[in-house]
Structure 1
Amino acid sequence: MPPYTIVYFPVRGRCEAMRMLLADQGQSWKEEVVTGEIWQKGPLKASCLYGQLPKFQDGDLTLYQSNAILRHLARTFGLYGKNQEEAALVDVVNDGVEDLRCKYVTLIYTNYEAGKNDYVKALPTHLKPFETLLSQNQGGQAFIVGDQISFADYNLLDLLLIHQVLDPGCLENFPLLTGYTKRLVARPKIKAFLDSPEHVKRPINGNGKQ
C-alpha cells in the first residue's frame, strides 16, 4: 500500500500541487474521493480538525491544511531550499501563491460572472512579483528559488496553469514566467502526470467554473 493518502473532493483544487510534487518525486499515493453527498452527511466533516479538506495521511501521521502538507512533503524530499536563506525565500514565494490563490477562489465561488473581467484586468499586477523573483534568480532560467526545485515551484506551477485556463493570454507579457512554465511542464514525470486521465478528467473547481 502507498504510504500516502489524499482525502479530498473530486477536483484539482488545493491538492493538485501536492499530487504534482508526489508524481515528480516518483511517489505513489492513494486517493479517497469525498463526494458532496458524503460531505453533507456530516460525520467526516466533524472528524476533520478544521472542518475542511484536504486531509492527508502519511502512514500514521494525519495532516490538514494544504500548505502544511506541502511543507511536510518538502522536508521529506529535500524540496525546501539548500539553506535557511533559500528556505525563507521559498516561504515568501509560497505565501505569495497563497494570496493569489485566495483571490482566485473568491472569484470562482462567489463572484465569477460579475467579477471575472476586473479580476483578469488586475491579474498582471498579481503575476508581476513572480516574474520579478524569477529575474533575480539566475536570470529566470532556473527555478523560482535557487538551482533545485522546491515545493513552491509545484504550487506556483499549479497556480499558473489554472490561470492560463481562466485567461489564456495571462503570461504573454511575462517571458520569464512563460519559459518557467514550459520548463516545468516538460519535466518527464510532471508531463506524465499532466497527461494522465486522472488529471485531465479531474475538474479544476467544484462548481464547474474555471
Structure 2
Amino acid sequence: MPGLLEDSGSFSLPPPVPPYTIVYFPVQGRCEAMRTLLADQGQSWQEEVVTKDSWLQGPLKATCLYGQLPKFQDGDLTLYQSNAILRHLGRTLGLYGKDQREAALIDMANDGVEDLRSKYAALIYTNYEAGKEAYVKALPGHLKPFETLLSQNQGGKAFLVGDQISFADYNLLDLLRIHQTLAPDCLGAFPLLSAYLERLSTRPKIKAFLASPEHLNRPINGNGKQ
C-alpha cells in the first residue's frame, strides 16, 4: 500500500500521536506544573500555542467552558481549570497518594498552593510595582505552612504527603521556582523547603525538562513581570 512500505519492504508507520494536548498561551503560567509532571512521568504531549491576537480575535475563547485557558485534551476528554487537570493526571498516573487519607492531605496541600498562586497572580497582573515590596515581606508567612507540611512527613526528607511524589508536589515545585525568581532569598528561612526544591529539581527527567529550550524560552508570565 502506498506510504506503508519502504524500499526495504518493511512497514513504515507514522509517529505515534501524543495522548495529551495542552492548549495555552506561550508562557509558563498555569501549565508549567503539569508540563513538569508529564515530563517527570515520561509522558509525551503536544502543545497548541495560542497567541494574544488569536485569543482576542479568534473563535477559541467562545468555545472554552469558562472563557479561559488552559484547555487540556486527553483523548476525547476535554478539561479546563489547571487544578482539575492536575488532579486528573494525579488519578490517571498514580500521583494521588496510596489511600483516601493521603489523597485528602494532597488535596489540602494543593489548595494551599492555589491560594498562594492566586496571590502571586494578583500581584503580577494588577499591582506589581506598588505591591511587590509588601508581597515579599509577607511571603514567609505564606511559605511557612509548606515547611510545616514537610516537617510532618518523614522529617521533611520525602514529599508533601507520603513516600511517593504527588501532583501537588509538582505544583509546589513550580510555585517555589517562580517565587525564587521574584525574591531570590525567599527560602532562606526554610531549610526543608530549600532541600525539597533542590531534591525535586534534580530528579533526572525534571532536570532535563528545566534545562530544555522549550522551558527556558517560555516567559513565566504573559506581561513580562516576574
Task: Give the deviation of 1:150 after TM superposition.
Answer: 0.1
CA distance in 2, matches of 1:3, 1:59: 6
CA distance in 2, matches of 1:85, 1:184: 23
Task: Give the deviation of 1:42 after TM superposition.
Answer: 4.2
Match for residue 45 of structure 1? 61
1:80 aligned residue (76, 96, 99): 96
- Structure 1 runs of 4+ off > 2 angstroms? none
1:177 to 2:193 alignment: yes
Q: Which amino acid in the other structure matches residue 112 of structure 2?
A: G
CA distance in 1, matches of 2:86, 2:203: 19
CA distance in 1, matches of 2:59, 2:122: 26
- Tell me the number of residue pairs that the alignment of Structure 1 and Structure 2 aligns: 210
Which of these two proteins has the greater Rg computed from alpha carbons? 2
Q: Deviations over 1:9-66 (max 9, x none)?
A: 0000000000000000000100000000100114100000000000000011100000
Match for residue 144 of structure 1? 160
Q: Deviations over 1:151-176 (max 9, x none)?
A: 00000000000000000000000000
Q: Which amino acid in the other structure matches residue 12 of structure 1?
A: Q
Match for residue 22 of structure 1? 38
1:192 to 2:192 alignment: no
1:168 to 2:184 alignment: yes
Q: Which has the larger helix fraction? A: 1
Secondary structure of 1:145's match? coil
1:120 to 2:136 alignment: yes
CA distance in 1, matches of 2:18, 2:151: 39
Match for residue 19 of structure 2? 3
Q: Deviations over 1:56-77 (max 9, x none)?
A: 0001110000000000000011
Scaled by the length of structure 2, the TM-score of the pair is: 0.92
CA distance in 2, matches of 1:42, 1:169: 42
Match for residue 90 of structure 1? 106
Query: Which runs of 5 or more residues in structure 1 are unaligned?
Result: none
Q: Which amino acid in the other structure matches residue 179 of structure 1?
A: A
Q: Deviations over 1:185-210 (max 9, x none)?
A: 01000000000000011000000000
CA distance in 2, matches of 1:42, 1:107: 28
CA distance in 2, matches of 1:191, 1:144: 20
Q: Deviations over 1:59-117 (max 9, x none)?
A: 11100000000000000110000001000000010000000000000000000000000
Scaled by the length of structure 1, the TM-score of the pair is: 0.99
Match for residue 70 of structure 1? 86
CA distance in 2, matches of 1:169, 1:77: 34
Query: Percent identity among equivalent residues?
Result: 81
2:70 aligned residue (30, 47, 54): 54
